[in-house]
A and B are shown apart, each in its own frame.
Chain A
Amino acid sequence: MTAVRPYIEFAKVAFSREATYRFEVFTSIGSLLVRVYLFRMVWTALYFHNAGIRALTLEEAITYSTVALLMSLVMDIDQTQLLVSKLEDGSIATDFMKPINVPFYFFSDGTGEVTFHAFTIIPSLLLALLIVHIQVPDPVVLAVFFLSFFLGYLVGLLMNFVLNCIAFWTLEIQAMQLIVTWITDLLGGEVIPLVFFPPVIQSFIYILPFAAMYSTPLLIYVGVIGPDEYVRALLVQVVWIAIFTVGAVLMWRFGSRRVVVQGG
C-alpha cells in the first residue's frame, strides 16, 4: 500500500493544479462548443450538396464529430509532456534523486490532469446538446464504446510517451510532435471519419495506430463497427498497446541511461 501512496498523491496534486487554471477550463469548453457548431454547419452543407456520401447519415456524421470533440477534451492532453519539459530545463534531476519510479510519476501526474479534464466532459456535453442533436446507442454499444475509448486513450498515451522519450537523445522534439499531431488528426479519424476515405486507403490506415485512438471507439459508437467486429477491433487496439508498451519500456531503459542534466 505504501508503494502506491506517492503516486496517488502525485495524481491529487496534478488534479488540484489543473483546477487552479479556471480560465483555461472555460476557454477550452468555449472553443469546443464553437467547433461543435462549425462541424454541424460543415456536415450539413456537405450533405446538402453531395447526396453521394452514404457511409454515414448526416445525423451520424454530426454525432460522430460531436463525440470526437468531447473525447478530445481528454485525448488531446499529452500526459507525458512533462518528461520533455523536465529534460529541457534539467529539473528531471530532482525526480531521479527520489525513490520513485519516474515514468510512473509522469503517468500519475498525467492521470490527475486527465481526471480533472474528464469532469469537463459533462458540462461540455450538456452545452453541446443545445447546439446539436446526437444519437445515443443502446447500453451495450455504449459500454463497448467506453471500453474502446479507454483502450484508444492508452494507445495515445503510450505512443506519446515513446515519442517524448526521443527527447533523451535530442532534447527537443517539437517539430516531430507537430508532424505526428497532423498525421493523427488526419489518419486518426478525429476530424474526418475514416469511412469517408477511398476503400484502398482505408484498408491501409486501419492497420496504423492512429485509427486505434479515435476511429475505433467512434465507429463503434455510430454502429459502423458492428457487434460481430467488436473483438477484432478491440484486439487491434490491445495489440497497439502491447507494441507501444514494449517500445516505452525499451525507450525508457536506454534513454534514461543517457540523461544529460542541463544547466548546473
Chain B
Amino acid sequence: MPIIETRGLRKVFRSVQRYPGVGGALRGLFSREYIDKVAVEDVNLTMEAGELVGYIGPNGAGKSTTIKMLTGILVPTSGEIHVAGLVPYQKRKENARNIGVVFGQRSQLYWDLPLRESFELLRAIYAVPRAKYDANMAFFSEILDLDEFMTTPVRQLSLGQRMRGDFAAAMLHDPPIVYLDEPTIGLDVVAKEAIRTFIAKVNEERGTTVILTTHDLADVERLCNRIVLIDDGRIVFDGELERLRMEYGTHRTLVVTLAEPCDDMTFPHTELVEQEANVVHLRFDRRKITAEHLLRLVTERCTISDVSIVEPEMEDIIRRIYLEGYRTQAPTPAS
C-alpha cells in the first residue's frame, strides 16, 4: 500500500481583482471581482514507503501548494489525499506526528531561543522519549556539526547553520515521511553537501520517505531516482531520471574547431547554435542523424583541427521543458 497517494488533487486560490493606480485602488474598495487561480490541477501522485522523489518545476508551478496540502495546512479544493492512511487536513495533528518538514525559506526554530532550547521545546511537543532524543541528537550532530552553535540564539545563526538546525528539528521525532521544500536554497557548496549527505543517510538508514523540491538539479541528480515534474499546476512527467534524459535529451552538440574558415555551416537536422572565432557548436537530433554521419558531412566541407561531443546537461533538459512544455510525443527539433 502506498504511503502517499493523491487522486485528482486540485487547489484554486481566489483573490480580489486589483486595478492599477490610485483610481484602481479606490475602485477595488467597492468592486468585489474575484480571480480564481488554479495552483494545482489533477495531481495524481503515488509514493511507496522509502522512496526519495524529486519534485521539481519552475516557480509558481504548484510544488509548495502540493506540499502544503500534504501537510494538512491547506485544504484541497477537490480531490483526495492520503498520507500514511490519514487525510491530512481532517487529521492535521495526527498527520503532523508522521511528517517532518523543512522549508528553505522559513524556519520552524524559535527565533528568540538558543538552538538547544528549540530542540527541547520540540521534544516536549512531540513527546520524544529522552533516550531516543539523545540518540537522535548524537546522530544529527555528527553529520550536521551542530555542536558548535547549539547555544547560539537562532536569530544569530548563519543561513547554513540555521538550515542544519532546521533539518535536525524536522527529524527529531523520527517521522516516516519528510517534505523538503527547497532545502538547499541560498546555501554554499559545503553546506549543500552536508545537507545532501544527511538526506541520503536518513533515507537509506532509516527508510524515511522523502519528497524533495528544489531548483538545484544537482540535488536531484545526487539523490533521486525518480522525479516528478510539475508545470503550471499539472504533473507533466513522472518517472526515472534516466528516462527523462533519454526521452528529452535527444539533442547533442558537436563542437568542432576549424583549421581554416568555412562558410557554409548548414547541415540536415542540425542547428548552428554558436560560433566563436573558429569554434563552432552544432546541435543535432541524434535520432535523425548520427554523430558519425554529421562529422563526415562536416569534414567533407571543411578542414577541422579538433572535435568533441557535448552531452545534454540535466539543467538544459529541464529548461527546455519549462520553456516549451513537455510533450509525450517526440519533440520536434528546433529549426
Contact = CB atoms under 8 A, between A and B. Distances in A.
Contact of A93 (B73, B120, B121, B124): B73
Interface in B68-111: 68, 71-75, 89, 92-94, 96-97, 99, 101, 103, 105-108, 110
Contact of A98 (B105, B107, B125): B125
Q: Please report whether the interface of chain A is mostly helix, strand, loop or mixed according to DSSP.
A: loop
Interface string B238-251: 00000000000000
A57 interface: no
Contacts of A17: 112
Interface in A5-30: 5-6, 9-10, 13, 17, 20
Nearest to B105: A264
B99 A97 contact: yes
Nearest to B110: A13
Interface string A89-117: 01101101111110000000000000000
A2 interface: yes
A39 B273 CA distance: 82
B96 A97 contact: yes
Contact of B106 (A94, A99, A260): A94
A5 B101 CA distance: 22
Q: Please report whether the interface of chain B is mostly helix, strand, loop or mixed according to DSSP.
A: mixed
B150 interface: no
Contact of A263 (B105, B112, B113, B124): B105
Nearest to A20: B112
Contacts of A257: 75, 89
B277 interface: no
Interface string B246-269: 000000000000000000000000
A260 B89 CA distance: 14
A6 to B, nearest CB: 4
A20 B113 CA distance: 11
B214 interface: no
A46 to B, nearest CB: 43
Nearest to B126: A99
A94 B93 contact: no
Residue among A93, A99, A261 having the largest count of chain B Cβ atoms under 10 Å = A99
A261 B103 CA distance: 13
B13 A93 contact: no
B106 A90 contact: yes
Contacts of B107: 94
B96 A264 contact: no
B73 A97 contact: yes
A2 B101 contact: no
Interface string A52-83: 00000000000000000000000000000000
A138 B68 CA distance: 57
A261 to B, nearest CB: 6
Interface in A30-50: none
B335 to A, nearest CB: 39
Nearest to B169: A94
Which size bracket describes the interface of A in this complex?
20 to 34
A134 interface: no
A260 to B, nearest CB: 7
A99 B64 contact: no
B99 to A, nearest CB: 7
B127 interface: yes
Contacts of B97: 99
A101 B93 contact: yes
A125 interface: no
A259 interface: yes
Contacts of A10: 121
A96 B124 contact: no
A257 B89 CA distance: 9
Given A2-B127, A13-B113, A96 B71 contact: yes
A191 to B, nearest CB: 33
Given A5-B124, A9-B124, 15 more contacts: A5-B127, A6-B124, A13-B110, A13-B113, A93-B106, A94-B103, A96-B72, A97-B72, A97-B73, A99-B96, A99-B126, A257-B75, A263-B106, A264-B103, A264-B106
Interface of B: 13, 64, 68, 71-75, 89, 92-94, 96-97, 99, 101, 103, 105-108, 110, 112-113, 117, 120-121, 124-127, 181
- Shortest Cβ-Cβ A-B pairs, 8 listed: A94-B108, A99-B96, A264-B105, A6-B125, A9-B124, A99-B93, A96-B73, A2-B127
16 contacts: A5-B127, A6-B124, A17-B112, A20-B112, A94-B107, A94-B108, A97-B96, A98-B126, A99-B93, A99-B96, A100-B93, A100-B96, A259-B74, A260-B13, A263-B105, A264-B106
